[in-house]
Structure 1
Amino acid sequence: MRPVQGAPQVCPESGLLSLRDLDENELDRIAVRAVDLYENPLAHDRPLAGKAIGVLFTKTSTRTRTAFSVGAHRLGAHVLAYGPADLQVNTGESLTDTARVLGAMLDGLVARTAGPLRDLRAISRESGIPVVNAMATEEHPTQGICDLATIRLHRGDLSGVTVLYVGEGNNTTTALAHGLAKVPSSTLIIATPEGYGIPGEELTAARTAGASVGATVVTTTSMADLPTDVDVVYTTRWQTTGTAKSDPDWREAFRPFHIDQAFMDRFPSALFMHDLPACRGDEVSGAVLDGPRSIAWSQAAMKLSSAMAVLEFCATGGRAGLSVTNGGPG
């Protein structure tokens, strides 16, 4: 007979929940590995063979969900997909009870929920298995890893890179700030409409972390006073997935932050990035998004190799790693 199990113990958080949790070497390791796997998708030894990985998405997703599902499969895992109505939390079961059950059966979980990051941290602690934050309200860390890897792919190195971000200060912007804060001598300029920047606590944390490696985060609400010597111009959709703005006239505030060819001409050597999906005519013109300096499409393709690098990182000891048996480290 199997022994009777008592109440599960709360375990340390593991997986990849925020770029704030990574040190400089860990982040660089994942970004470099993402480039390696982009250039050679077979450059791995199936580290997830025999593992069961849950992929839980309660919000819409094209790139991230596909990337982690395909990536886990290519690394050898059996993938179980959960949609927004599939789990018993929809009928009143507590998040912690759900997490305990998942932890008894899965070896890892990739999750995009409608809730805050603290929910994913709770799932990780209660389940005892690594959890990958595939986007929470505050931060989209796997997008940040993809962005750094994409810049590395096209630039060859991250040190000293200058990125101009234009538009809404959302969870992608926050991840970019935390990621670049670990890159020596980097500069991130965040240009947003008044009242639409990243939260002050996140900005302070990025600036504090950046000070140790000479990384700088600058914010502005003016499109007139911007440097011309930047390596990358980056924007995202003005309306973050699943959110709405309280101001009915918000588009008027955002209109000056539209990126068209005239804007890109101010930065003659800059590449253009976009995390997609895009709304042509809002945050960016079609001529820029589909133009010769746009690397948005290789950026999208790198979601797969970045997802594989994150999963491999967890499987090979990063942030506590995947347990050799179901039930995780707890």
Structure 2
Amino acid sequence: MERPTRSLVSTEDLSDADLRAVVARGVDHAAGRVARSLPLTGDVVGIYFRKTSTRTRTAFSAGALRLGAQIVTFGPDDLQTNTGETVGDTGRVLARMLDVIVARTAGPQRELADWAGQRRMAVVNAMTAEEHPTQALTDLTTMARHFGRVEGLRVCYLGEGNNTAAALASVLPRFGGVALELRTPPGYGLTEEVRARAEANAARSGASFTERHDMDELPSGVDVIYTTRWQTTGTSKPRPDWRQVFAPFQVTPKMWVDSPTAVFMHDLPAHRGEEVTAEVLDGPASLALDQAENKMHSAMAVLEWCRHVLP
């Protein structure tokens, strides 16, 4: 009897209960509290990346193997979409052979939504232009591991309103008491759709969400200071002066004057001297490497959720 599947194309595919279950499972994997039972034995997981990846690709490959699955990897030029086959036809063929596909396209999310329209193969969004949902789950896992909770945390994000920021803004306000403030450069903020979703989730859960486009009067007493690199994978900036626009949003040690106990998070890769100083990234407050490791623990939880191992 075939095992049912669930797809993670967007964080919106997770109910509040699912979201908390995946995060808690990621924490359990990280803490060594999950027995090595190889629940995905017999499954085949496709790893398809059209754009570069170190952490996400390795996390899902290693995670699938640790769960007992076998993996098939595809590079950016390996599929017949490069010779004119439609994305839909490719997805329908893969669904006859794979149990799960983890795909990074950096293109429109509708491609993966189309693939997820069948019931045979689970589809995991490993980053599209609009959203990076598995990064957000990694971030929540990291916060839950460090603080013992997500509820009530105060988080300040600095940088572009990119796919990482969009996913973070979509999930954090679903936790009661969270205060999420984004400081994004003018012209590089969240889309109206993502902002509306974050505000609606915050109103529903009792969290707070704000976005500003300046660096005046930064919030004090925050728990987490978060940034991403300025040049997001697979994208380019339309304005030639973008570096000057981004420069004031660099994370420096000065931010710890008013938030002395804050931890620093970065989804990596990082460019020291651009979005963050080396002193912060390599300093005692940085959780960046723990965050990278947690991507594997979170990936295992996602794969279990997709294959209904995780209720």
TM-score range, shorter chain: over 0.9
Measure, in 2, the Cα distance between the counterparts of 1:128 and 1:179.
27
1:316 aligns with 2:308: yes
Q: Is the 8 A contact 2:221 2:258 kept in 1?
A: no
The match for 2:35 among 30, 39, 43 is 43
Q: Which residue of structure 2 lines up, in the alignment, with residue 231 of structure 1?
A: 223
Q: Is the 8 A contact 2:158 2:184 kept in 1?
A: yes
**CA deviation after TM superposition for structure 1 residue 249, in Å:** 0.7
The match for 2:130 among 131, 138, 147 is 138
SS where residue 293 of structure 2 aligns?
A: helix
Measure, in 2, the Cα distance between the counterparts of 1:41 and 1:297.
21
- Name the TM-score, length of structure 2 as normaliser: 0.95
Measure, in 1, the Cα distance between the counterparts of 2:74 and 2:174.
33
Q: Deviations over 1:236-256 (max 9, x none)?
A: 001111111011111111111
Q: Which residue of structure 1 lines up, in the alignment, with residue 212 of structure 2?
A: 220
Q: Which residue of structure 2 lines up, in the alignment, with residue 23 of structure 1?
A: 15
- 2:237 maps to a residue whose letter is K
Measure, in 1, the Cα distance between the counterparts of 2:86 and 2:228.
34
Q: Which residue of structure 2 lines up, in the alignment, with residue 325 of structure 1?
A: none
Q: Is the 8 A contact 2:22 2:302 kept in 1?
A: yes
Q: Is the 8 A contact 1:123 1:131 kept in 2?
A: yes
Q: Which residue of structure 2 lines up, in the alignment, with residue 299 of structure 1?
A: 291
- 2:195 maps to a residue whose letter is L
Q: 1:296/1:74 Cα in 2 relative to 1: closer, same or farther (>3 Å)?
A: same
Superposed CA RMSD = 1.6
Identity %, equivalent residues: 50
Q: 1:317/1:13 Cα in 2 relative to 1: closer, same or farther (>3 Å)?
A: closer
**CA deviation after TM superposition for structure 1 residue 296, in Å:** 0.8
Where in structure 1 do 4 or more consecutive aligned residues deviate above 4 Å?
Answer: none
Q: Is the 8 A contact 1:27 1:182 kept in 2?
A: no
Q: 1:232/1:131 Cα in 2 relative to 1: closer, same or farther (>3 Å)?
A: same
Measure, in 2, the Cα distance between the counterparts of 1:95 and 1:66.
24
- Name the TM-score, length of structure 1 as normaliser: 0.90
Q: Which residue of structure 2 lines up, in the alignment, with residue 7 of structure 1?
A: none
SS where residue 175 of structure 2 aligns?
A: coil
1:180 aligns with 2:162: no
Measure, in 2, the Cα distance between the counterparts of 1:221 and 1:103.
43
SS where residue 45 of structure 1 aligns?
A: coil
Q: Is the 8 A contact 1:36 1:43 kept in 2?
A: no
The match for 1:244 among 236, 251, 262 is 236
Measure, in 1, the Cα distance between the counterparts of 2:18 and 2:297.
16
SS where residue 165 of structure 2 aligns?
A: helix
Measure, in 1, the Cα distance between the counterparts of 2:175 and 2:309.
22
Measure, in 2, the Cα distance between the counterparts of 1:148 and 1:104.
33
